[in-house]
Amino acid sequence: MPIFRWDQSWNPLRDLEREVDRLIQGVEFTVQGIRMPRQYPAVNIFELEHEFLITAELPGMQVQDLELTIANGLLTLKGHRDSPVVDNRDIPEERFRRRERTFGEWQRSISIPDRISDEHLSAEFNDGVLKIHLPKLEEELPRQIPVSSGE
């Protein structure tokens, strides 16, 4: 929400308002409350009976804009979201009054449990929702180790 608002402003004040709002958006906090930078995309991680399920909402993205990798206990999500287009034309920067959605390149890494089956990972992307399935490894039961005499 912009900090400065004038109901009957004339053009110089409207321009000042827009510039102040743009400057404040670049700062990590506001006067009305702290605005902490959020990692993008926001994810939910569930532990189910046979798998861990990670979901992320990625509106406006296409499956070809996503890349998922796993290495050294980290799941990395990478992607690119184009700037908004309205009526088949790009919106110039000076026309934004508020920008809360992320555009451009993004990347996020998530630590994953070491008890998952790397060979059976899968992901699906439908209606802007990414679901990543991390199947759990079969639990190994303790086994008896026979001990022989040293004779």
Kindly report, residue by residue over 15-73, the tens digit of the pLDDT. 777 677 767 666 555 444 555 556 678 899 999 999 999 999 998 889 999 999 998 88
Which among 3-7, 74-78, 92-96, 100-104 has the top mean pLDDT?
74-78
What local confidence, expressed as pLDDT, does residue 28 receive? 53
Q: Using 50, 70 and 90 to split pLDDT, how confident is the model at 11?
A: low
The domains found in the chain, sorted by start residue, are: 39-135 (2.60.40.790)
pLDDT higher than threshold 70 for residue 108: yes
Contact status, residue 68 vs residue 133, Cβ threshold 8 Å = no
Mean pLDDT over 101-110 rounds to 84
Contact status, residue 81 vs residue 73, Cβ threshold 8 Å = no
103 against 41, higher pLDDT:
41
10 against 121, higher pLDDT:
121
Nearest to 121 by CA among 66, 52, 57, 74: 52
